Amino acid sequence: MDPSASAEEPLPGERSDSPGREDTLRPRRFADYIGQSELKQVLGIAVTATRSRGEPLDHVLLHGPPGLGKTTMALVLAEELGVRCRITSAPALERPRDIIGLLVNLQAHEVLFIDEIHRLNRVAEELLYPAMEDYRLDLTVGKGTTARTRSLPIAPLPLVGATTRAGALRSPLRDRFGLVQRLEFYELEDLQAIVERAAGLLRLQLEADAALEVARRCRGTPRIANRLLRRVRDVASVQGQERIGPELVHEALSLHRVDGRGLDASDRRLLTLMLEGYGGGPVGLETLAAGLGEDPATLEAVIEPFLLQQGLLQRTSRGRLVTPAGRSHLGWPAQQAA
Ligand code: ADE
């Protein structure tokens, strides 16, 4: 069955907003999904094995920074299994009836994708445990001394949970996932291939060097690569340019304050605050978050991972530190030995 072609109504709690621009560029099968080779291998084996046994896929937890393809992989899994994927996110499951409505209406083997799963409240989480383990819902009927638990069978479901903060998941929930996989930042050549694929789908004449330039500046993240590519396309169409070369990419992305290494204004604001306000650190996460007007969890899960991976920032037991490479990237002189 084609999961996106169904005209069925969304289930209660299912995300029913329009699919969004990202959808046109999403790969739909393992074969089109570039990069994350270990993830594809692990999930490919699980899909083939469960298909041959006719069983539901084990529950999958995908974690890692935003924009690396967790939702895309859930959709690919459903497509590979030949079933529909129901997409929701923890904040949409605030009331018990939201998750109950979703679970009782699922068809057998449909993939249930819960984004930001670390944000599930305790009640929702406890409803999920028996659903994940025994495909049943334990409902409390009545109040006070007459309250009774009733068990309701539900369709066997593979649950795919996604989170940017695996450490924030309570262990009883984390332990119920049979497959736990981290998505990594993409390699440059994979990003170049992703940009070239997207350019093809958008019917752009993008030179290989230009694709590489977008790839260098997308923070290792396909979602950002596709966003930057659309900005480059805007500049090309305003200038009436058919062919897009690296100079045009440079011009368009400088306009959007994305530097040659892909750091954006938020990244530079963080490093600059550390250098100007705290001599490059060490400085605590909370202090930095307050100084930037950001939520500490967002800073930790969204902004920091790329800077850490690039070796521009370091986490130490005494706080965050700008590395020599970070200083140099922002044009600061090397620190004198004390
Ligand atoms: N578009 C976004 N992510 C992708 C990926 N991993 N492979 C191919 N195209 C993509």
CA of 194 to the centre of ligand 1 (A): 5
Q: Which of 33-37, 161-165, 332-336 is the least confident region?
A: 332-336
Q: Is 26 a catalytic residue?
A: no
CB count in 10 Å sphere of residue 105? 17
Cα 32 to its chain centre, rounded Å, is 18
- Write down the mean pLDDT value for the chain: 92
Check if 223 is active-site.
Answer: yes
Token pair listed for 319: 């706080």
Per DSSP, the three-state class of 249 is helix
Q: Which helix (H) or strand (E) holds 138?
A: strand 136-141
Element (H, E) at 266: helix 265-278
Tokens 């695996």 correspond to 166
Tens digit of pLDDT for each residue in 104-114?
Answer: 999 988 999 99
N-term to C-term CA, the chain? 66
Q: 123 with 94: CB under 8 angstroms? A: no
71 catalytic? Reply is yes
Average of pLDDT values for 39-63?
96
Residue 32: DSSP 8-state: G
Which residue do the tokens 């079933």 mark? 83
**Range in 140-144, 170-174, 223-227 with the lowest mean pLDDT:** 140-144
Q: What angle do CA 163, 166, 172 make, to 5 degrees?
A: 110
Cα of 145 vs centre of ligand 1, distance in Å, is: 54
Catalytic site residue 164?
yes
Give me the pLDDT at residue 335, please: 81
CB of 183 closer than 6 A to ligand 1? no
Tens digit of each residue's pLDDT (9 = 90 or more) over 114-140: 999 999 999 999 999 999 999 999 998
Mutation probe of ligand 1 site: the residue of 23, 25, 184 with most atoms within 8 A of C-beta: 25
